[in-house]
């Protein structure tokens, strides 16, 4: 009887699932309604059926049918990115070639070459990005090759990643960490660069939810708690503006929106303030309905009305009307002093600008039709193609360069003739010189910025006018690599240094050839490698260079034996090596090394705590297998975490703390407060007396009525540290208590 009921229940749920899938499909159709041309509906239906059929036996980690994922990605493409029918078809099919029996040929036959090409690009990305490979950076390079081919590939991939981030609750912790860091490291900056601000913001917030859950919950709760008073404040702020704007006859919308949790957290960290002191928890947005010819005029009109009502902060005006960002973003931002002495950011845009701000690249192309000027987006793609053409650089260098050159915020500077050039934030006079021409960069000895002489390492600011000074005697040197940030400058400097090295190495080649002739050994690659290995030098070019500059003198060659014309290096006598398998490593005797359980093999692995973030028990941590120092434990909010997890996800080991009350860990607290009589006594009395926590060191400095104390204490775990911080904050006159990592 039970079995029949179970079968009926299963059938019912199967029926319900079918209804659910159809509901999602119809929702996608509704979003695309305006864009459907004759025949589109049939193609879309065919793609949906093909995908549903291919994925019919597959389920997501949450247990729901897999087809709901491609449907959700297609809907994000259409609704949140503003892509059309063809992109939605590609989104529906994006996992079929990789995960099912459907082939690219099937897709080409059914939907034509354009769609099959995009699906092929998405498959390549899927293969490279989600493999557990150390080739993360190499893969990223491949993704960018696809991007410059057809940017829709990356937009669909961003939609795919966003949906995965939204539905990650059922995944294992280490997978959540790996995907989140990869998202923060690569995808969120890419979304930003594509002009998809909402998606970038949501990705950062979701990544933070998994990487720093406590902080995320704390800020989310605070935002919830202060929602009513924020709404009241926004309404008070908007009321007088609304009245004035209505009198002008402009058609506009005005509303407030909260800042993202991630950006509030960045403010708290950067400015070193408490949540209550972050002044711009929200921004006011004014969207004007203007015809394109009057857009600038109307935006400045609105600006004038706002600054009549509220005093602006002069250094916080951002004019992206005159100089849009290279991702197409146009707006006017100002920060004004609102009621109750609070700073408020106001963003002014037109409807067209708002669509570009929210839909980024897709909207940008919609408005570009019919214009023949090369857009800044196209220039950006052109620069990426240039960087990709240089296959010399190692992939990790490439990823780092890509982040600083192409994903950073940008500044605009002027040439002596008044032309505009966009450069990433942090770019120097030398970066500018290389952006003009390789020959100008290589010969650059200085620059004039706003007619004043500056060194080549001078960091440029938006609006600078720059003239490069060159000399025929100048040539690149390795010091230059320390301050340039653009990919082009780095590549060209490295090329030049390599060329110079080759020329010097010619002398080394001549010296070595004579030596080998005297020994009756051949000058060939095999012998060169044998000598290089003996001297622990990476390549034969480095070996010849070191010989030429007398870093290596070849007297040890007399100990080599010659077999035919082949050299054999003497083998050093070595102490017998102990071979230990990773899982058989014993915990070391260091007391801070016996505290952690890793997955299943709790007590058999040796590890050290990373110096960059000094974890203590109770911190959210992960293990990372380093190349030379075994396993290291990092906090998930360590400054290096995103880079390690994004680039070397395969080396991450699941980690959790064991309960152990015998061992203490040294950590530091920075205490700031009012310099009052007996304040030191109160602090020490609380720490040592009441809470019985051992103090290792303490320094207090007082200046102009404010004291700053640094206390190093031994605690057993994070709970004990949290209790200590809470108790200190309750003392009268104590303003802030922050943890810092001890040396």
For 34-81, the DSSP string reads GGPPTTHHHHHHHHHHHHHHHTTT-B-TTSSBTTHHHHHHHHHHHHTS
Show Cβ contacts of residue 632 under 8 Å, excluding neighbours closer than 6 positions.
607, 608, 609, 610, 623, 624, 626
Please tell me the distance from the alpha carbon of residue 205 to that of residue 199, in angstroms, as a whole number: 10
Q: Any catalytic annotation for residue 98?
A: yes
**What percent of the chain is modeled with pLDDT above 70?**
80
Q: Smallest Cα–Cα separation from 72: which of 150, 165, 151?
A: 165
Query: 548-584: per-residue pLDDT in tens?
Result: 888 877 777 777 877 777 777 776 544 343 333 333 3
Q: What is the pLDDT of residue 347?
A: 92
SS3 assignment, position 541: helix
Burial group, residue 185, by CB count within 10 angstroms (0-12, 13-18, 19+) = buried
Confidence of residue 328 (pLDDT cuts 50, 70, 90): confident
Q: What is this structure's pTM?
A: 0.61
In this structure, what DSSP letter does residue 579 have?
P
Confidence at residue 598, expressed as pLDDT on a 0 to 100 scale: 41
Specify the higher pLDDT residue, 256 or 391: 256
Q: What is the CATH number of domain 225-368?
A: 3.30.460.10
Fold that domain 377-479 belongs to in CATH: Ubiquitin-like (UB roll) (3.10.20)
Residue 300 in 3-state DSSP? helix
Q: Of the ranges 76-85, 365-374, 448-457, 612-621, which one carries the lowest mean pLDDT score?
A: 365-374
Residue 219 has pLDDT above 70, yes or no: yes
Does residue 167 register a pLDDT over 70?
yes
* Rounded average pLDDT over 25-46: 87
Question: Is the pLDDT reported for residue 676 higher than 50?
Answer: yes
3 state SS of 332? strand
The answer on pLDDT for 687 being more than 70 is: yes
pLDDT band at 660 (very low <50, low <70, confident <90, very high): low
Provide the 3-class DSSP secondary structure of residue 582: helix
Over range 197-211, report the average pLDDT: 90
Looking at 423-427, 431-435, 467-471, which range is the least confident one? 423-427
203 pLDDT more than 90: yes
Is the confidence at residue 653, as pLDDT, over 70? Answer: yes
Domain parsing of the chain, residue ranges:
17-211, 225-368, 377-479, 495-551, 582-657, 665-740
Identify the band that residue 346 occupies on the pLDDT scale cut at 50, 70 and 90: very high
Q: How far apart are CA 618 and CA 381, in angstroms?
A: 45
Closest CA to 87 of 186, 160, 20: 160
Selected residue with higher pLDDT from 576 and 427: 427
Arithmetic mean of pLDDT, 333-354: 89
One DSSP character per residue, 409-467 reads -EEEEE-TTS-EEEEETT-BHHHHHHHH-HHHHHTEEEEEETTEEE-TTPBP-TT-BEE
Q: Between the ranges 129-133, 194-198, 384-388, 543-547, where is the mean pLDDT highest?
A: 543-547
CA 441 to CA 452: how far, in whole Å?
Answer: 19
Kindly state the average pLDDT of the residues 411-439. Answer: 86
**What pLDDT score was predicted for residue 602?**
42
**The pLDDT value given to residue 63:** 80
pLDDT at 431: 93
Report pLDDT for 477.
87
Confidence label for 585 from pLDDT (cuts 50, 70 and 90): very low
Mean confidence (pLDDT) of the chain: 78
pLDDT band at 130, cuts 50/70/90? very low
Worst-scoring range by mean pLDDT, 141-155, 263-277, 386-400?
A: 386-400
Separation of first and last alpha carbons in the chain: 69
Give mean pLDDT, residues 23-51. Answer: 88
Residue 691 CB burial class (10 angstroms; 0-12, 13-18, ≥19): middle
Q: Per residue in 289-310, pLDDT tens?
A: 988 889 999 999 999 999 999 9
Predicted local distance difference test score (pLDDT) of residue 593:
35
- Catalytic residue, candidates 20, 64, 79, 98: 98
378 is catalytic: no
Predicted confidence (pLDDT) per residue in 94-110, tens digit: 888 887 888 888 888 88
Taking only the tens place, the pLDDT of each residue in 507-559 is 888 888 887 877 878 888 877 877 887 877 777 778 888 888 888 777 777 77
Average pLDDT on 476-491 reads: 86
User: Rounded to an integer, what distance in angstroms lies between the CA atom of residue 97 and that of residue 55?
Assistant: 11
Q: Say if residue 288's pLDDT is above 60.
A: yes
Task: Choose which CATH entry (3.40.50.740, 1.10.3720.10, 3.30.300.30, 3.30.70.260) describes domain 665-740.
Answer: 3.30.70.260
Q: Where is pLDDT greater, at 211 or 315?
A: 211
pLDDT category at 596 given cuts 50, 70, 90 is very low
Cα 670 to its chain centre, rounded Å, is 29
Q: With a cut of 80, say whether residue 450 has pLDDT above it.
A: yes
The neighbour count for residue 727, using CB atoms within 10 Å, is 16
Going by pLDDT thresholds of 50, 70 and 90, the confidence category of residue 72 is very high
Confidence grade of residue 383 (pLDDT, cut at 50, 70, 90) = low
Residue 302's pLDDT is 93
- At 124 the pLDDT is 65
pLDDT at 190: 80
Q: Which of 99, 106, 495, 722 is catalytic?
A: 99
Task: Give the whole-angstrom CA distance, residue 230 versus residue 224.
Answer: 10
Confidence band (pLDDT; 50, 70, 90) for 474? confident
Distance CA 165, CA 622 (A): 20
Nearest-angstrom CA–CA distance, 631 and 512: 42
pLDDT of residue 132: 42
What angle (nearest 5°) sits at the alpha carbon of residue 95, between those of residues 94 and 96? 100
H-helix or E-strand containing 470? strand 466-470
Distance CA 642, CA 109 (A): 42
Tell which wins on pLDDT, 68 or 598. 68
Q: What is the arithmetic mean of pLDDT over 639-653? A: 76
User: How far is Cα 18 from Cα 740, in angstroms, rounded to an integer?
Assistant: 54
pLDDT value of position 580:
30
Average pLDDT on 450-469 reads 88
Instruction: Pick 634 or 411 by higher pLDDT.
Output: 634
Contact status, residue 134 vs residue 648, Cβ threshold 8 Å:
yes
CATH dotted code for 17-211: 1.10.3210.10
Cβ atoms of 95 and 69 closer than 8 Å: yes
Q: How many CB atoms lie within 10 A of CB 579?
A: 6
């Amino acid at each position: 009887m039970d079995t029949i009921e179970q079968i009926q229940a299963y059938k019912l749920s199967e029926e319900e699932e079918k209804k659910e899938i159809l509901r999602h499909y119809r929702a996608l159709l509704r979003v695309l309604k305006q864009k459907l041309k004759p025949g589109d509906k049939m193609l879309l239906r065919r793609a949906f059926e093909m995908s549903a059929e291919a994925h019919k036996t597959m389920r997501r980690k949450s247990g729901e049918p897999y087809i709901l994922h491609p449907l959700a990605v297609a809907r994000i493409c259409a609704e949140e990115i503003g892509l059309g029918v063809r992109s939605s078809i590609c989104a529906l099919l994006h996992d079929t070639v990789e995960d099912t029996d459907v082939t690219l040929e099937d897709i080409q036959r059914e939907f034509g070459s354009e769609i099959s090409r995009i699906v092929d690009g998405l498959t390549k990305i899927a293969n490279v990005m989600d493999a557990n490979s150390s080739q993360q950076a190499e893969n990223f390079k491949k993704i960018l090759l696809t991007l410059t081919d057809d940017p829709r590939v990356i937009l669909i991939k961003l939609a795919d990643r966003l949906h995965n981030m939204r539905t990650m609750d059922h995944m294992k912790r280490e997978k959540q960490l790996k995907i989140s860091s990869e998202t923060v490291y690569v995808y969120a900056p890419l979304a930003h660069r594509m002009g998809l601000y909402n998606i970038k913001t949501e990705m950062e917030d979701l990544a933070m939810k998994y990487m720093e859950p406590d902080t995320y919950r704390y800020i989310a709760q605070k935002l919830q708690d202060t929602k009513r008073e924020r709404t009241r404040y926004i309404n008070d702020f908007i009321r007088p503006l609304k009245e004035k704007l209505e009198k002008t006859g402009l058609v506009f919308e005005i509303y407030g929106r909260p800042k993202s949790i991630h950006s509030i957290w960045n403010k708290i960290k950067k400015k070193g303030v408490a949540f209550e002191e972050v002044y711009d928890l929200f921004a006011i947005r004014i969207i004007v309905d203007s015809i394109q010819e009057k857009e600038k005029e109307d935006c400045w009109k609105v600006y004038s009305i706002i600054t009549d009502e509220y005093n602006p902060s002069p250094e916080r005006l951002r004019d992206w009307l005159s100089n849009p960002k290279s991702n197409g973003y146009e707006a006017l931002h100002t920060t004004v002093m609102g009621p109750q002495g609070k700073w408020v950011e106001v963003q002014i845009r037109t409807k067209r600008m708002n669509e570009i701000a929210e839909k980024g690249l897709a909207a940008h192309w919609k408005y570009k039709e019919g214009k023949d000027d090369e857009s800044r987006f196209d220039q950006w793609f052109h620069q990426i193609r240039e960087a990709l053409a240089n296959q010399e650089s190692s992939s990790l260098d490439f990823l780092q360069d890509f982040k600083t050159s192409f994903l950073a915020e940008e500044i605009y500077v002027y040439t002596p003739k008044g032309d505009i050039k966009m450069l990433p934030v942090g770019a120097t006079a030398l970066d500018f010189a290389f952006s003009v021409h390789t020959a100008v960069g290589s010969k650059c000895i200085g620059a004039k910025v706003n007619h004043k002489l500056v060194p080549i390492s001078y960091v440029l600011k938006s609006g600078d006018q720059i003239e490069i000074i060159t000399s025929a005697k100048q040539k690149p040197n390795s010091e230059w690599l320390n301050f340039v940030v653009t990919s082009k400058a780095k590549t060209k400097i490295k090329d030049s240094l390599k060329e110079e090295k080759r020329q010097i190495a010619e002398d080394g080649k001549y010296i070595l050839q004579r030596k080998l002739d005297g020994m009756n050994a051949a000058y060939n690659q095999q012998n060169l490698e044998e000598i290089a290995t003996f001297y622990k030098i990476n390549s034969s070019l480095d070996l010849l260079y070191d010989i030429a500059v007398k870093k290596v003198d070849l007297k040890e060659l007399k100990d080599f034996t010659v077999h035919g014309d082949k050299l054999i290096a003497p083998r050093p006598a070595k102490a017998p090596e102990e071979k230990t398998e990773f899982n058989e490593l014993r915990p070391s005797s260091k007391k801070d090394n016996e505290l952690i359980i890793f997955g299943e093999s709790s007590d058999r692995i040796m590890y050290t705590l990373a110096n960059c973030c000094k974890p203590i028990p109770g911190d959210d941590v992960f293990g990372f297998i380093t190349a030379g120092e075994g396993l290291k434990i990092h906090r998930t909010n360590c400054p290096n975490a995103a880079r390690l997890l994004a680039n070397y996800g395969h080396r991450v080991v699941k980690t959790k703390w064991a309960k152990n009350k015998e061992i203490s860990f040294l950590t530091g607290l920075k205490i700031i407060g009012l310099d009052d009589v007996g304040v030191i006594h109160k602090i020490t009395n609380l720490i040592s007396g009441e809470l019985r926590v051992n103090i290792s060191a303490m320094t207090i400095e007082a200046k102009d009525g404010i004291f700053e104390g640094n206390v190093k204490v031994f605690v057993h775990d994070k709970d004990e540290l949290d209790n200590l911080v809470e108790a200190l904050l309750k003392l009268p006159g104590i303003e802030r208590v922050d943890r810092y990592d001890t040396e």
